[in-house]
Each structure stands twice: as structure tokens, then as C-alpha cells.
Amino acid sequence: MALTNSDSLRFFAPELLLTAGAVVVFLADLLLSKAKRRPLILTSLAVLFAVGAVLLTIHASANAPQSLFGGLLAFDGWAVAFKLLCFTATAFALLMATPGPELPKERTGDYAAILLALSVGMSLMASANDLLMVSLGVELVSLLSYGLAGFKKGARRSAEAALKYVVYGGVASGVMLFGMSYLYGLSGTTSLGGIHAALTGDLGRAGSLALLTALVLVLAGVGFKVAAVPWHMWAPDVYEGAPTPFTAFLSVGPKAAGFALAIRLFSALFGGSNLPWAEVLGVIAAATMTVGNLAALNQTSVKRMLAWSSVAHAGYLLLGVCAGTAAGHSAVLFYLVVYLFMNLGAFLVVDAVARRGGGERLADYKGLSSRAPAVALSFAIFLFSLTGLPPLAGFVGKFQLFKALIDRGGGFFVGLAVIAVLNSAVSLYYYARIARAMYLDSSTDGERITLPATYPFLLGIFAGAVVVLGVAFDGLRGATDAAARALGAY
């Protein structure tokens, strides 16, 4: 049964705390002099850790999933897992924010505050159980992301990225809201559970058609958030134009929240109906990974190549959504955890190389193995993990996604698995192009790259996680399975 508003507050404490933290950091940023803003990052990190601890305590003490604020939000293992994932992504994004050309020193306060507010949005997306909250969460995350995409004042690329993002985002949100209005019209309620109950079973010809329209329209909104084809156009430009630490965050945090939302939304809305929604999602997944991988093949900018690779990975992740089983959902969560480490790591390397010695072009990576052996080695680990080579974590993630498809059975799903594995082979080509530049080509300038201590520290954490999770993943698998089961069936 849904909890009353006052009872719900206890479970909403993490979000309240985060909001308070964001406000405090914003205000402090205004009040403090420019030189003293550096500690704001540490303050934000402390807030995030506190919030994470509070969340875990509440989760440990709460029994059974709770429904908050009269059913607007859900508090279950699924939401908690994704919240923790998003908070971790935010924490790393804060740690990665070493002042430099991408992030001016005096603006780190802004950056931290926006990231904290973004975590509130992602947290809402992960637990939204009502169309209103879905829309609210998506808008909150989108609006703040627009701001961060255009964070580099005066940089043309950054401004272009932000504008593109706003226009695309605005259209996508509008389309999604339009789809939701159909859903409301069909069921007379905005609560996901209520819609599920109203739309289960045979709806008749007209009803099915209306629901199919709604599906496609809602898909547009979600597809925009996770950068799935054909709503991916913004991704390469935004990823390339935005400050690298934020690009890294954007490719992981909001994407994870988008998948948390997508899975809850789709299994609630269409799980009971006889619509071919798994097939629709499957075709989108196949198109997304194929387009992403093919477009990545010929990129000369490493950052843009990784942006396209993120599109391709959205495709792999959609496979788990389309399988529609608890195993598929668990695989999505597992992959997102792994993806967090390898993609943040990859973008951190891009940041490191751009910081010392210049650009983001492939040519700038020539001979990196002799200029910065540790950076090159960790980048190679991230790239081959993204390809899905064992014994790295990326392989285990893909393994579970493909397994979910084959377990589902049937020619369509097996066909999808075949397309997916062939895509992995294609993706090797461009990942290996980077590895080749780093290891096989000799550098144009022999200067060694020296970096601030945060870089080796973070790269060590990311690379270590990718290697360890590739060999010892039983624990994480158990946790993601539990989270997927907690989502339950509608």
C-alpha cells in the first residue's frame, strides 16, 4: 500500500539531503571568493557519500518495496541499485574535475552544484512510478545537462552542443508528453501500476493502435535520453563539445537513469499488453549498435569515436531491455556498472591526453605507450573491455546480455544475439585503431606526459575494477539479480 506523505519523507531523505547539499554549494559558490572555491568539490563529495550511506541504511532497515507519496515514487531494490550507481558516477565525475582548460578553476563550484542537482534528477528517474514523476525526472536531468553541455563559455563547439541538445531535448520531451497523454486517455490514470492494470489483456483494434502510438511516442523520449537510434543525433556533437569530465558523466549517469526508467516504464506499460514491443525494441537495439559502430569506424577524433561507441553501447544495453526478463534486466544493471568503470576510464584518458600535449585526434595518441606507459596500458584495458574481450569485465557484461537473449529463445532473439556479436567484432576495428596508435605507431614527439596525482589514482581504480570484475563477478551478479527481482513483475 502507498505510504502517506509524512511517512514517505523518511524514504525520501537521500533526495532531500542532496537538494540541500546542492543549494548549499550554490550559495557557497556565490559567497566565497574565487580562490576558495576548490573545497566545494570535496564538500559535494562528502554530501554524496553521506547520501549514499543514508540510502543504504534506509534500504537495510526497510522491508519489502515501498510506494511513496501516494504511489508517485517507488522505493525498491531496483531504484536503490540505480541510485547508488548514479551517485557513484557523480562522485567520479567530481573527482575527475581537475581544474584545467576544460573546467576553469573559478567555476568548479558551479560544476559541483549542478552535478549534485543532477543526482536528484537521476534519483527521481530511477524511482519514478508515475507518469508525472517520469516527466519531472527526465526534465530535471535534461535541463541541467543542457547547462553542463554548454559549460565552456566562449567555446563555439560547446555552445553548438548545448543548443543542439536543447532543441533535440525539447522536441523529445514534447513528443514523450504527447505519448503520455494518450496513455492517460486510454487508462484514466497516471500511475504506472494503474495503467498496467487498465491496459492488460486484449484492447481491441483501436485500443491497440492507440497504445502502439503511445509506445512509439514514449520511446522517443526515453530513446533520446539513452541516445538510441534514431534519436541519437545529438550525442556525438554534445559528447564532443562538452567538457570531457561531463561527457564521461553524461555517457554513464543519465544513461543509467534512463535505462532504470525505461525498464520500469516499459515492463509496467506494455508488459501486460499483446503489443510487439519487444520486437520494436529489438529492431531499435540492432539499429543503434550497428549505426553507432559503423559511424565510429572512420572517426579521427578519439572523443567523437568514443561518443559513437557510447551510442553503440546503448544498443547492447537495449538488448537486455528487449529480452524483458529478470535475467535481461539484471544484465543491463550489471553492464551499466561495468560500463561506468570502463567508459569513465576511457574519457579520463582522453582528458589526460588533451591536457598534456594537445588534442583529441587519433594522431595525438601515437606512441602514447612510450610517452605515458601507465595511461596507455589502462586505456588499452578500457578499450578491449569495451570490445568485450575476456578476461575483462566488458566481456562478462556482454556475455550476460547475450545469454539473456538466447535464454529467451526464438529466432528473433537469437538473430539479435548474432547481430550483437558481429557488432562486437566490428567494434574491435576502431578500438584497435586507438590501441594501434598507442602501441604500434611511434610518437611524433617523445615527451613524456606527467599528470596530476588524481589521474593515475582514478585510472588505477577504473582499470583495477575492470580487471577484477572480469574474473570475480559472482558477488556483483548476485546483487544485480536481487535488484532485478526486486523490480518484480507488474
Partner 1 sequence: MKLLSAIVFLPLLGAALVTLSSLLPARLRDNASRAIALIVSAVCCALGIYVWLTFDPHAAGMQFVERVTWIRSLGVEYFVGVDGLSVSLLILSTLISFIATLASMPFWSREQPTGLAQKIPGYCAMLLLLQTGMSGTFVALDGFLFFVFWEVMLLPMYFLIGIWGGQRREYAAIKFFLYTLAGSVLLLIAIIALYQKSGDQSLLNRLAEQSPQAFQRLVESTLHHDAATGSWGYLLGDGTFSDKTFNLLAWARTGQAGLFDLAGAFFLGFTFVKVIWVFLFIAFAVKVPMFPFHTWLPDAHVEAPTPISVILAGVLLKMGIYGMLRFNWAVLPAATLNYQRVVAVFAVINILYAGLICLAQKDLKRLIAYSSVSHMGFSLLGMAAMTDAGMSGAVLNLFTHGLISPLLFLVVGVLYDRAHHREIDGFGGLARVLPEYTGVMALAFFASLGLPGLAGFVSEFLVLSGSFAPLPWHTALATISVVITAAYYLWALQRVFLGPLNPKYQGLGDLSWRERLTLYPLVALIILFGVYPAVMLGLIDPGLHEFVRTLTAS
- What does the binding site for partner 1 look like in residue numbers (CB under 8 A)? 367, 370, 373, 384, 389-391, 395, 399, 402-403, 406-407, 409, 411, 414-415, 417-418, 421-422, 424-425, 428-429, 432, 436, 439-440, 442-443, 473-474, 477-478, 481
Task: Tell me which residue of 459, 397, 462 sits closest to 424, measured CA to CA.
Answer: 397
CB of 464 to partner 1, least distance (A): 14
What CA–CA distances, in Å, run from 210 to 192, 223, 255? Answer: 17, 19, 28
CB of 454 to partner 1, least distance (A): 23
Q: Which is nearer to partner 1, 155 or 414 (by Cβ)?
A: 414
CB-based contact 315:285 (threshold 8 Å): yes
CB of 331 to partner 1, least distance (A): 12
CB of 377 to partner 1, least distance (A): 9
b/e sequence 86-118, b meaning 16+ C-beta within 10 Å: bbbbbbbbbbbbbbbebbbeebbbbbbbbbbbb
How far is 77 from 64, CA to CA, in rounded Å?
9
CB-based contact 129:158 (threshold 8 Å): no
CB of 159 to partner 1, least distance (A): 38
CB of 297 to partner 1, least distance (A): 12
Give 3-state DSSP helix, strand, coil % of the chain, rounded to 5: 80, 0, 20
Q: Which is nearer to partner 1, 135 or 370 (by Cβ)?
A: 370
Q: Which is nearer to partner 1, 425 or 489 (by Cβ)?
A: 425
How far is 338 from 342, CA to CA, in rounded Å?
6
Q: Which is nearer to partner 1, 199 or 401 (by Cβ)?
A: 401
- 346 contact partners, CB below 8 Å, separation of at least 6: 248, 306, 379, 382, 383, 386
- 68: which strand partners? 73
CB of 359 to partner 1, least distance (A): 21
Q: Which is nearer to partner 1, 157 or 477 (by Cβ)?
A: 477
CB of 415 to partner 1, least distance (A): 6
- 330 contact partners, CB below 8 Å, separation of at least 6: 400, 404, 477, 480, 481, 483, 484
Q: Which is nearer to partner 1, 19 or 370 (by Cβ)?
A: 370
- 182 contact partners, CB below 8 Å, separation of at least 6: 210, 211, 213, 214, 217
Q: Which is nearer to partner 1, 58 or 479 (by Cβ)?
A: 479
Q: Which is nearer to partner 1, 21 or 315 (by Cβ)?
A: 315
